[in-house]
Amino acid sequence: MQKKEISNQIIEEKCKVVFVGAGYMTVEHIKAFSKISSAELCGIFSRTKTRAEKISAQYEGILVCNSISELYDTTKADLVVISVPELSTNEVCKEASKFPWVCLVEKPVGYNLDDAGIILKYFKNNNAYVALNRRYYSSTKNVLNKIAEVEGQRVIHVFDQEDQIAARKAHQPELVVLNWMYANSIHIIDYLRLFGRGNIVSVENIIPWNPDNPSFVMAKIIFDSGDIGIYEAIWNAPGPWSVSINAGNTRWEMRPLEQASVQLYGSRSLVNTDISDKDINFKPGLYVQAEEAIKAARGLSHSLPSLNEAMESMKLISEIYREET
């Protein structure tokens, strides 16, 4: 990204953004980036070219390319947003890592822990980040800001619900279904590391994962800060995604995740916090995440989780869902 000098004024050029993939998430990312004045949407590549052409027709300036190399060579983009199916992520990241743009990759980066480790090795220049958009919900940020003011131990309880039966009915590849905790549980398990401080020192499997009979899973996670995480999941049965954090005399709850509520000691009532207009007008978290991605592409300080950091959440999934021997 360069700066131009016009009449003794320094004008910063827009961040050139391109996209790999043309599915639902790509469309949602484009909606967010298209409303940021410092972003210039330049190109798209998808193996399903007709989808890419449909997107291109809706947004001026998005050029349809025939390969990732053409995407870079034609646009000289600063930032590429990768939103492809789990089993395509490895190959796409391998090709994208060859070019000097910043990569924002949709989670999960790898269909399991081993696949994620291979992808991590592609990005030796550390210019790749993971799109964990729930970190940018206004609900999440509200809780993070408030909980920082409270001293003492935290207890973080996350409740997960997963459905392999529904995944199969939706024609998900069997390899993805068998690793569904990486494909989908990362959304909720990442909250344990986000709210828990310090390093994880132990994971106790209270109700172990049984891949032959998926039902209930429960684990206790201990951080070296003294914080405690409780993970509870129900498989192939109804249940809500939720997060609760107890610290000091206050309890926070996110249920649904887009809505944060607070309960003070002595009260039985939960009081909702405000939801940002950015989470109402766009898919929650994507607008703020896009702003952070542009900062990363410009070499500025930002809060995007690196592949290394996201890998720690993948490792936690592996620990929670390790099979009993």
CA distances from 43 to 7, 23, 63, 139, 196 (A): 31, 15, 4, 32, 39
Instruction: Provide the total of helices (H) and of strands (E) in the chain, helices listed first.
Output: 13, 16
Residue pLDDT, tens place only, 209-238: 999 999 999 999 999 999 999 999 999 999
In whole angstroms, give the CA distance from residue 145 to residue 254.
Answer: 14
Contacts of 171 (CB under 8 A, 6+ apart): none
CATH architecture of 3-133: 3-Layer(aba) Sandwich (3.40)
Domain boundaries, the chain: 3-133, 135-276+306-320
% helix / strand / coil in the chain, to the nearest 5? Answer: 35, 30, 35
DSSP state of 123: -
Residue pLDDT, tens place only, 237-264: 999 999 999 999 999 999 999 999 999 9
Residue pLDDT, tens place only, 170-197: 999 999 999 999 999 999 999 999 999 9
User: Residue 325 pLDDT > 90, yes or no?
Assistant: no
User: Residue 8 pLDDT > 90, yes or no?
Assistant: no
Could you list the beta-strand ranges (E) of 46-122. 63-65, 79-82, 102-106
pTM of the predicted structure, to 2 decimals: 0.93
What is the sign, positive or negative, of the torsion defined by CA atoms of 33, 28, 302, 145? positive
Residue pLDDT, tens place only, 272-306: 999 999 999 999 999 999 999 999 999 999 999 99
pLDDT band at 11 (very low <50, low <70, confident <90, very high): very low
Question: Which residue did the predictor score with more confidence, 62 or 1?
Answer: 62
| CATH value of 135-276+306-320 in 3.30.1360.30, 3.30.70.141, 3.30.360.10, 3.20.20.140 | 3.30.360.10
Mean pLDDT over the full length of the chain = 95
Contacts of 175 (CB under 8 A, 6+ apart): 87, 111
How much is the pLDDT for 124?
A: 84
